[in-house]
Structure 1
């Protein structure tokens, strides 16, 4: 990880105390940061220095960050100068952001999807979401660790491991699974290494790590955020979303990154109709549960461990929602759920393998410079670098299966059609028949239901098991239902206030 010169954290805090500044960096939100910027008790440079020192201190333990940006402090200084000259760009102005390592930047940072195969590659331009963040005045702090190749290389590699970043660790219970593939983003947000991080999801990669690390993750409707410049798995299912500590922070980030992108024109144009006039922040309502009809999918509330504890916690949450005006429709079942959750039966496996090869080859071919230009090149690289990529332990069986595909043929089209039918006869029919505003699930397995249909979901902290491992609750809905989901997620968060800082328990 790149090293930088900055004021050591104890000295920084001492200097702030001596000068009368009392800003609390821990659990700081976008709103509290902007207030401190406004009244002069904090600068973007000081905030960036805090996060850089925090990363330096915690990353050897957590492996949440692959590298930090050597230009982060310069960007922070620019933001400070802009504020002094009355140019204010909005809520993210001067806020440091960690990007998952599959989100490309055209700067001195690498974009490698956690693999040594892409080390030194040069993107032709910033990813679409990064361009929007820069326009909003955000500071690109660095790249977060992730499951290598978004957990699409091997069936045996841990879901939060990459060759470049190592094994990500859950900051609440270090031996617990932090989940992937956006593990580094969630770990960093949970451990106060940044207030704002971005993740990506194909199937569960925002929802699951948010659930396991007691943070808020928004998986947007596919196409709501641009995937241009993101190392892909499937253009049909890939989406980019925020992972933060609060619903408000995540929503403010969502506002900054949604919208049309010429480089991802078909998907972003189709989804642009869902973006509400005035943005998403208007839906942060403490009474957002009032009048909502929410379906409880009990299949996702069955736990093999801490079952009694978690059942009690969720029943309390259900009662809280009812007291806040929600109508809960219990014991709902999605048609053909077992088929949906089995990637070999649903068609997801067949489709993803072919889509991955096509999309990755396209991404690699467009790089300005790269050691690899195709999936075949990546496979060969791994075979030549067995030690660095831990090939003997983990292999690359998914890569090999994808390489054997020959495009989107009859089998793949049939698989995609089957997933569409499962979605229409499953979640869509269930919601329409019961007049639901959302469904509510626990455990990240429900993410597959959302993934194959391109549907949105928001994961919010719900509690902690007897072992201290966090668990969340997920509000999911149909395409474009983010306003409803935000209202419910925010109202639930404000009524429960479950989240607490991590304990780093061994």
Structure 2
């Protein structure tokens, strides 16, 4: 059997697990949910759903069934879901049975969660990072965060699409595209991109294909799609959530975080996945002190802006929105923050900002190339079975499958450059030190000098500046431009300031309440 034939057969098996799709997604516009429930289900929160569970008006089985029908109807257009879990309905039925005999359950019990396709699940789902090269591979165990979700009673609904290999194969591939998932599409039709790389996780939540989802982040992979798809995204401090069982790029900088339609839901999901993991011991042990006793839900305070010193990175706002509707909206938001008790420190300037935003000049490019080869090779060798066992094998796979992987169109220059590296050499170490120095002088020193609790910036401006230091970021929807495309606002802080950022972002969300569902769901 040829490898191309093997891929074709695997594809047939995967798509057979998805419900059959109609020829057009437009037919579901305005369709009433099959779940008879008084709440407006399309924007239902975890609390709404749990209340419906407790009142006997809804079951996990019906909830999962509803989402599967929504995926069946909308996913052929949105390309947010790579594959659904064939055991999802059985898992939901078990959750219902457990609920009937146990009243002390997690807030995530019975709640469907979509998982980015680079997070391991030891079940019938594939974990491929969007690539055909990993199709059919078998992981040794659940990722640390998946283990915690299953213990919390959550339902793994399926795998969300993403930018292939976290957009680390090629500089040519579009955001939100992968060979397996196709081109992810933003549900807000006037927006040209879903952004990446956790694109499917954001699209699915925005489109109400699932309650909440998991993404991964290094340089805006959670926060950028959150902005562009009008959802909440939380990039936690590295180590607050385990990265074990994640297809890696940089163990120093990557993290796993939640995406949701509300801050409350995102934080409930965050609480379910935080904590020590022996398979990611160094990072999770170091970050354990940043997790509050009782969890991050304690930070959901409507007065969370009161007394907080928030720095405005004015140049980013000017570059993004000067003279536009967004500029007026941000001005209004700053006024609201002041009314809620925030102390705004305006016109902040980050030292060496032009260098920090340039992945070549700041050293990030050199460091990541070296880290990627080492960490990916280690990940692939740990698999129980895989068609590829090294980065060199993946490169060869793409060469042998140029049509499936669109290799001639997009190439694999980043892969080739990474393959040429030889461990963490002198150049890589120097690059890492440069990143640390820039982060200290540009972010840490500035925040300490001004005694700031957070800094605020728009959209994806400034993400590289915070990405190279592994700083936490919380993004909240901020509004819609004249054509209806979403934009967001991001709050960033020093490592370990997650609880404070959540207080600020939640208070902002509650004071503004700007999120609107995509027009196709209205």
Task: From 197, 205, 224, give the equivalent of 1:189.
Answer: 205
Residue of structure 2 equivalent to 1:316: 332
> Is the counterpart of residue 393 in structure 1 residue 419 in structure 2?
no
Change (3 A) 1:14 1:273: closer
Tell me the number of residue pairs that the alignment of Structure 1 and Structure 2 aligns: 500
2:287 maps to 271
RMSD: 1.8
Q: Deviations over 1:345-391 (max 9, x none)?
A: 10000000000000000000000000000000000000000001011
Matched, 1:376 2:392: yes
Does the residue aligned with 2:329 lie in a helix, a strand or coil?
helix
User: Mapping of 1:164-203 within 5 angstroms?
Assistant: 164-173=180-189, 176-203=192-219
SS at match of 2:248: coil
Of 424, 445, 451, the match for 1:435: 451
* CA distance, structure 2, for counterparts of residue 491 and residue 175 of structure 1: 27
Which runs of structure 2 are paired with 1:30-429 in the superposition (5 Å)? 30-173=46-189, 176-303=192-319, 307-429=323-445
- Separation of aligned partners in 1, 2:18 and 2:136: 19
Is the CA contact 1:2–1:67 (under 8 Å) kept in the aligned structure 2? no
How many angstroms apart in 2 are the aligned matches of 1:262 and 1:340?
A: 33
Give secondary structure in 2 for the equivalent of 1:107. Answer: coil
Maintained 8 Å contact 1:306/1:465: no
Q: Distance in 2 between matches of 1:14 and 1:491?
A: 31
How far is 1:503 from its partner? 1.7
Quote the Cα distance in structure 1 between the aligned partners of 2:202 and 2:55: 30
TM-score when scaled to structure 2? 0.93
Shift in Å, 1:43: 0.4
Counterpart CA distance in 2 for 1:447 and 1:193 is 27
Moved more, 292-301 or 443-452: 443-452
Name the residue aligned to 1:449: 465
2:8 corresponds to which residue?
Answer: none
Q: Partners of 2:33 and 2:260 in 1: how far apart?
A: 27
- Structure 2 CA distance, aligned partners of 1:190 and 1:174? 15
Cα offset for 1:15?
6.5
Q: Is the 8 A contact 1:2 1:68 kept in 2?
A: no
Establish whether residue 29 from structure 1 lines up as the match of residue 26 from structure 2.
no
Question: Do the aligned partners of residues 335 and 303 (structure 1) sit closer, same or farther apart at CA in structure 2, a change above 3 Å counting?
Answer: closer
Rate the CA distance shift 1:403–1:324 in 2: closer, same or farther, 3 A. same
C-alpha distance in structure 2 between counterparts of 1:235 and 1:4, whole Å: 33
Match of 2:501 among 462, 485, 488: 485
Deviates more, 1:53-62 or 1:79-88: 79-88
**Normalising to structure 1: TM-score of the pair?**
0.96
Whole-angstrom CA distance in 2 between matches of 1:13 and 1:426: 51
Q: 1:241 to 1:14 in 2, by over 3 A?
A: closer
CA contact (8 A) 1:255 1:280 kept: yes
CA contact (8 A) 2:71 2:81 kept: yes
1:6-21 equivalent positions in 2, closer than 5 A: 16-17=35-36, 21=37
- State the 1:14 CA deviation: 7.8
Task: State the Cα distance separating 1:2 from its structure 2 match.
Answer: 4.2
2:6 aligned partner: none
In structure 2, distance between residues paired with 1:178 and 1:307: 24
Unaligned runs of 5+ in 2: 1-14, 23-27
CA contact (8 A) 1:293 1:438 kept: yes
Unmatched segments (≥5 aa) in structure 1: none
